[in-house]
């Protein structure tokens, strides 16, 4: 058995099991090997119970940027909106969802602004 943690994206589903960012999961060797090979997971050295958070590392969560939100997929946007209590039910596209979330969080993607050039 190995402990793994999702490091890329907010959630990942494999074999009907949902893995969430910033939580440590205890999985069998074969599952760990596959999930780590996707590049979305790393192996933990901690000994957490399955599906429990492992906050013993003291590592800070990276600051969320507008570009990060723009690059998110549908499930990531929905997970972030749920985590931050942002209502995106009436948003039809990922772009709409991203704009709503960025607006609620006060984030701006300066790469998309035209300063009169």
CA distance 99 to 90: 12
Q: Does residue 93 sit within a domain? A: yes
Counting the structural domains of the chain, the total is 2
Residue 17: φ, ψ to 5°: -115, 130
Q: Confirm whether 51 is domain-assigned.
A: no
Examine the pLDDT at 59 and tell me if it is beyond 50: no
Question: 33: domain range?
Answer: 2-44
46 vs 74, more confident: 74
Report yes or no on 81 lying in a domain. Answer: yes
The DSSP 8-state label assigned to residue 104 in this structure reads H
CA pair distance 73, 59, nearest whole angstrom: 25
In the block, residue with structure tokens 């890329």:
8
The answer on 106 and 71 residing in a single domain is: yes
Residue 60 in any domain: the answer is no
Amino acid 51: pLDDT: 44
Which of 37-41, 80-84, 94-98 has the highest mean predicted lDDT (pLDDT)? 94-98
Q: What is the CATH number of the domain that holds 36?
A: 3.40.5
Higher model confidence: residue 117 or residue 69?
Answer: 69
Q: What is the largest CA-CA distance in the chain?
A: 57
The answer as to whether 8 is a domain residue is: yes
Residue 91 has pLDDT above 90, yes or no: yes
Strand order in the sheet with 2-6: 24-27, 2-6, 41-44
Helices 94-105 + 74-83 axis angle, to 10: 30
Indicate the pTM of the whole model.
Answer: 0.48
Query: Looking at the structure, do residues 36 and 73 belong to the same domain, yes or no?
Result: no
Tell me if 56 is assigned to some domain. no
Q: Are residues 40 and 72 in the same domain?
A: no
């Amino acid at each position: 058995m190995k402990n793994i943690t999702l490091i890329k994206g907010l959630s990942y589903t494999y074999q009907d099991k949902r893995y969430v960012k910033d939580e440590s999961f205890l999985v069998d060797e074969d599952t760990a090997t596959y999930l780590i090979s996707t590049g979305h997971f790393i192996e933990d050295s901690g000994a957490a119970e399955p599906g429990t958070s492992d906050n013993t590392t003291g590592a800070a969560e990276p600051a969320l940027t507008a570009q990060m939100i723009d690059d998110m997929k549908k499930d990531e946007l929905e997970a972030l909106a749920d985590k931050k209590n942002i209502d995106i039910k009436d948003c039809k596209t990922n772009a709409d969802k991203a704009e709503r979330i960025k607006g609620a969080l006060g984030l701006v993607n300066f790469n998309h602004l035209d300063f009169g050039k």
